[in-house]
Structure 1
Amino acid sequence: MTMKAILFASAAALTTANGAFAADAIVAAEPEPMEYVRVCDAFGTGYFYIPGTETCLKIGGYIRFQTDFGRNESGSSDWNTFTRAQLEFQAKNDTEFGTLTSLVALRTNARNSSGSSDNKTFLDQGYIEIAGLRVGMQYSWWDDDLSGETDAIASNETRHNAIRYQYETDAFKAGIAVEELEDSYNTKPGEGPNNVGITGQVSGTVGAVTGYLLGGYDTDTEEGAVRAIIYADLGPGQLGIYGAYATGANYYYEESEWTVGAQYELKVNEKFAITPGVQYFSNIALSSTGNGFGGGDAWTGGVTVDYKITDGLRSKVSVQYHDEDDGDDEVFGFVRLQRDF
């Protein structure tokens, strides 16, 4: 082989080797696909898919600043201010049994800057719901009251660990609940927590009228209460009429033996509403030696003003006057500013 042939053969071999090494060096891994958050519109506005799942999540809540006023509102002071923050997580997804819903609502009330028991974060609500069945910490139907602030149609705590079932159509609802009444209350001497209550409610809508009928039975006191509320769209607003009756003092209602009241929510425009109201109570004082009622009558009248300042920011002012037999008259209420998100 001549020197010229040897040089050409060596150059070809080096070129082939370098080409092989270069091909290996430039091989790069494919980039991982990125999954962006997707909007979920199956359950209303504000929901998005949790990445990698078919579960839709909604995050919301509010910040509230409120000043209450009235007789001895805080010790000997006639006014008291607090700030509340609430954060809510609601998750939904479709199943073979219908929509599976869960709610976690965390609340903090701050009345001062110290570490007192008033300044704590707690589970306001936490429940699982599917096919009309709801279990967990939840608000009772007794918590559902009118838009104004004059009415007093529930007693004691309205939030319980409970099991409830509700059947719903567009115009009719019916449900029953078993509730653990753990908070102490003052009815019969010696009564305490660890009680059980049973409530049931039916409601329906016919045209411009909606009605609610609610009953509750306190198994510890062996007393019960019933309550009815009727709403009717009338003119530029909505009329609300309500009443309640108790067989004796019980956890659900112990303000009086019976009561009736009414309010009218005047919707001035999309932002502004004025709601005057009045309520009458019969036989208000609880017996100090038994479970019956044994006192005079009372009435409350006042007005509530709601104003939407802008999207997500609203205010409410309530001024009420209360007068009862053998008692001092009282003016009370609150001023509230709330940012919803």
Structure 2
Amino acid sequence: MNFKTLLLGSAAAMIVAGGAQAADLTVAEPVDYVKVCDAFGAGFFYSPGTDTCIKVGGYVKFGTAFGDTDFGTYNSIYPNSQWSNFYTEASVQLTASSVTEFGNLTGFLDFRAQSGNTGSFTQSATQTVNAATNSAYVDSAWLSLGPVKAGRFTSLYDFGRGYTDTGAFGSDTTTDHIQLTYAVNGFGLAISVEDQRDRGAAGNTGDPVLSGSSYYQGGENNIPDIVGAVTYASGIFSTKIAAAYVNNAVDVNGGSGTIADPYDINAKTGWAIGGSVEFALDSFSPGDKFFVTGSYGDNANSYTGIAGGTSVANLTSTYDGSFIASAAPGSSWSALASYKHVWTPTVWSAVSGGYASYDGDGYFDNFTVDAYRGVFSTGWTPVTGLDLMLDGQYSHVDITDGRVAGVNNDDDGDAWTVNLWMKRSW
């Protein structure tokens, strides 16, 4: 065997061995990289292996507030202090959307948590409870398919309460409801069925129950609120008109308060109607806006800002324990105007002013509440994703209680707050 034969034989053996080893190797699967989804706007990406687009957002907010009120105490832990200490709030927001033969299918969740300190007396009851317990809560969560949307989100009736961080008096309620919307050529039509309990509707005792030293029986019926709205937008102009049939209020009719003859609590149906107009004033100053809205209601106090959200009742809750504003019978109305001016692309200011009034009926006949509020806010965005806010509000409330013949229990008071916070959003 010569050298050439030996070399060729060795090469052939190496090729055969290499082929056998190659047959034993596992072929790597192709990597399914995350891809950007632009079908639903910025920030979405495809969930790997699906046609669902995902967006992750949220914020961390740190703030403090100073203030005082003539109704109760501003800081319940330190009654002589006008500082509400610090608070921290976090939010995680998730959106999932996909295109189907029935329209876009979307789900949204805003999950929030607060630290153990409250912000100020203008916050909602939900915020107060969760801040005290350090627990997390669902601020809003909904799903939609085409024109149908269901879950917990802003009531169809709400118009907004101005451009300032603290809003003026008006409907400010998140409810569990189902909503149907139709839009064409700038017009929008919508109707919703909303859980009345989210607006503080009175319940029903069923059998007589003891409250204090008296017995009561009855209450509201378990009937949801029905809300309808018409919207229109064209160029610099947009408007909305909404109406609601509600089942929130009750009245006391008859009875002596004994177990044999309890006070009779009767359900009161109600209604509300309101409208808003907004103008974009870019021709005057880029980014400027003007907004005005008003509402009137009968036995529908949460629809006019007498109850719910940053309402008149939040300021006067210590005045009369029997005045449960969301369920008290009577007529009410509110109106507000707000203007926003953009100084630079990163600095803006806004001012809001509003008035709200309640005139009681039935058990609250000759009981009236009148209130006004002024708010000024300035926001600064030094870098993308970081917002700094300075917000101040002053409110005045007049209460007249003439339910006892010959006796007028009049009261009036003021409340003010300055809020400071910073927020990192993504």
Q: Could you tell me the TM-score, scaled by structure 2's length? A: 0.68
SS in 2 for 1:36: coil
Q: Which residue of 2 aligns with 1:90?
A: 95
Measured after TM superposition, the shift of residue 165 of structure 1 is 0.7
Q: CA RMSD in A?
A: 3.2
The aligned amino acid for 1:280 is Y
The aligned amino acid for 1:243 is G
Decide which of 245, 250, 269 is 1:217's aligned counterpart.
Answer: 245
Q: Is the 8 A contact 1:243 1:259 kept in 2?
A: yes
Q: Is the 8 A contact 2:177 2:192 kept in 1?
A: yes
Q: Which residue of 1 aligns with 2:253?
A: none
Q: Which residue of 2 aligns with 1:334?
A: 419
SS in 1 for 2:74: strand
Aligned residues: 329
CA radius of gyration, larger in? 1
The aligned amino acid for 1:167 is Y
Q: Is the 8 A contact 2:179 2:193 kept in 1?
A: yes
Consecutive unaligned residues in structure 2, runs of 5 or more: 2-7, 119-129, 204-215, 250-268, 307-330, 399-410
The aligned amino acid for 1:212 is K
Mapped pair 1:208 → 2:236: yes
Q: Which residue of 1 aligns with 2:20?
A: 24
Q: Is the 8 A contact 1:182 1:194 kept in 2?
A: no
Q: Is the 8 A contact 2:196 2:247 kept in 1?
A: no
Instruction: Give the distance between the partners of 2:83 and 2:223, measured in 1 at CA.
Output: 34
Q: Could you tell me the TM-score, scaled by structure 1's length? A: 0.84
Mapped pair 1:79 → 2:89: no
Measured after TM superposition, the shift of residue 280 of structure 1 is 2.1
Instruction: Give the distance between the partners of 1:324 and 1:250, measured in 2 at CA.
Output: 16
Measured after TM superposition, the shift of residue 260 of structure 1 is 2.0
Mapped pair 1:239 → 2:243: no
Decide which of 30, 49, 52 is 2:46's aligned counterpart.
Answer: 49
Q: Provide closer, same or farther for how the CA distance between residues 68 and 288 of structure 1 changes in structure 2, counting only shifts above 3 A.
A: farther
SS in 1 for 2:303: coil
Measured after TM superposition, the shift of residue 66 of structure 1 is 2.3
Mapped pair 1:276 → 2:373: no
The aligned amino acid for 2:115 is A
Greater relative contact order structure (CA < 8 Å, 6+ sep): 2
Decide which of 137, 161, 170 is 1:122's aligned counterpart.
Answer: 137
Instruction: Give the distance between the partners of 1:244 and 1:191, measured in 2 at CA.
Output: 26
Instruction: Give the distance between the partners of 2:289 and 2:342, measured in 1 at CA.
Output: 8
The more displaced of 313-322 and 190-199 is: 190-199
Note the alpha carbon deviations across 1:117-174, whole angstroms, 9 max, x for none: 541112222221011101122221345412223421116xx22221111112462222
Consecutive unaligned residues in structure 1, runs of 5 or more: 5-11
Measured after TM superposition, the shift of residue 186 of structure 1 is 7.5
SS in 2 for 1:182: helix
Q: Which runs of 4+ in 1 moved over 6 A?
A: 12-19, 186-190
Mapped pair 1:266 → 2:341: yes
Measured after TM superposition, the shift of residue 254 of structure 1 is 5.4
- The 5 Å alignment of 1:140-289 reads 140-145=155-160, 146-148=162-164, 149-154=166-171, 158-169=173-184, 171-183=186-198, 185=200, 196-221=224-249, 222-234=269-281, 235-236=284-285, 237-253=288-304, 255=306, 257-283=332-358, 286=360, 289=363
Decide which of 314, 320, 325 is 2:393's aligned counterpart.
Answer: 320
Q: Is the 8 A contact 1:315 1:337 kept in 2?
A: yes
Q: Is the 8 A contact 1:67 1:336 kept in 2?
A: yes
Instruction: Give the distance between the partners of 2:177 and 2:192, measured in 1 at CA.
Output: 7
Mapped pair 1:303 → 2:354: no
Q: Which residue of 2 aligns with 1:62?
A: 59
Q: Provide closer, same or farther for how the CA distance between residues 159 and 118 of structure 1 changes in structure 2, counting only shifts above 3 A.
A: farther
Note the alpha carbon deviations across 1:269-308, whole angstroms, 9 max, x for none: 2112211222122336x56924x67314322123111221
Instruction: Give the distance between the partners of 2:179 and 2:229, measured in 1 at CA.
Output: 11
Q: Provide closer, same or farther for how the CA distance between residues 310 and 30 of structure 1 changes in structure 2, counting only shifts above 3 A.
A: same
SS in 1 for 2:20: helix
SS in 1 for 2:169: coil
